[in-house]
Amino acid sequence: MDLWHAGALGVVEAQGLAASIVAVDVMTKAADVKVIGVRRVGGGLVAVSFIGDMASVTAAIDSARRAAAAAGGTLTSTVIGRPAVPASLLRDDTAGERPAGGAASGARAKPRPARGPAARRGTPRAPVSDAAPAEAEPPAEPPTDRARGE
């Protein structure tokens, strides 16, 4: 999906998640804009993208800029009318922590840490058993084979 039919796309970059959250709060209260993605750029920069009509996006960014200046920070921003930008570019697709060498997730099917007792209760799908080999899983557990087969 791209954003061609959104009136305008705004992207605001702030240093730190807290500053970005403040910016989002100010923007959504000041104008009718909708946040569509948050992306951690690296180095502590967080980019928030949002859509709305051109006037709303512009006014929202103005308000966020003023709020940031009052708090002693700065914002980098851009506004694009009729954005020909894929939405996937604007979103962080990984919700959790990324490993340091982020590109090395190709071969294995997304190793995810087991989450609490519910994850190892032996539900039929149980793909998490593949992820934690160090945690002394019973070796003859059938879900392991199934997860590898998928």
Partner 1 sequence: MRIARVIGSVVSTVKTETLTGAKLLVVAPLGETHAVEPYVAVDTVGAGRGEVVLVTTGSAARMVEHPSHAPVDATIIAIVDRLETDAWITYIKD
Rounded to a whole number of angstroms, the minimum distance from the CB of residue 28 to partner 1 is: 8
Rule CB under 8 A: choose which of 16, 18, 29, 44 binds partner 1: 29
Helix boundaries (H) for the chain? 17-30, 54-70, 142-149
User: End-to-end CA distance of the chain, in Å?
Assistant: 27
* Window of 8-16, 24-32, 84-92, 94-102 that interacts with partner 1 by CB under 8 A: 24-32
**86: three-class secondary structure by DSSP:** strand
User: Counting contacts by CB under 8 A, is residue 55 touching partner 1?
Assistant: yes
What would the x/- binding string for partner 1 be over residues 61 to 80, using CB under 8 A? -xx-xxx-xx----------
Of 150, 107, 113, 105, the C-alpha closest to 131 is 113
Rule CB under 8 A: choose which of 30, 45, 85, 114 binds partner 1: 30
User: Counting contacts by CB under 8 A, is residue 25 touching partner 1?
Assistant: yes
Whether residue 50 contacts residue 36, with contact meaning beta carbons closer than 8 Å, is answered with: yes
**Angle at which helices 54-70 and 17-30 cross, to 10°:** 130
* Window of 52-60, 89-97, 101-109, 121-129 that interacts with partner 1 by CB under 8 A: 52-60
* Window of 34-42, 57-65, 113-121, 140-148 that interacts with partner 1 by CB under 8 A: 57-65
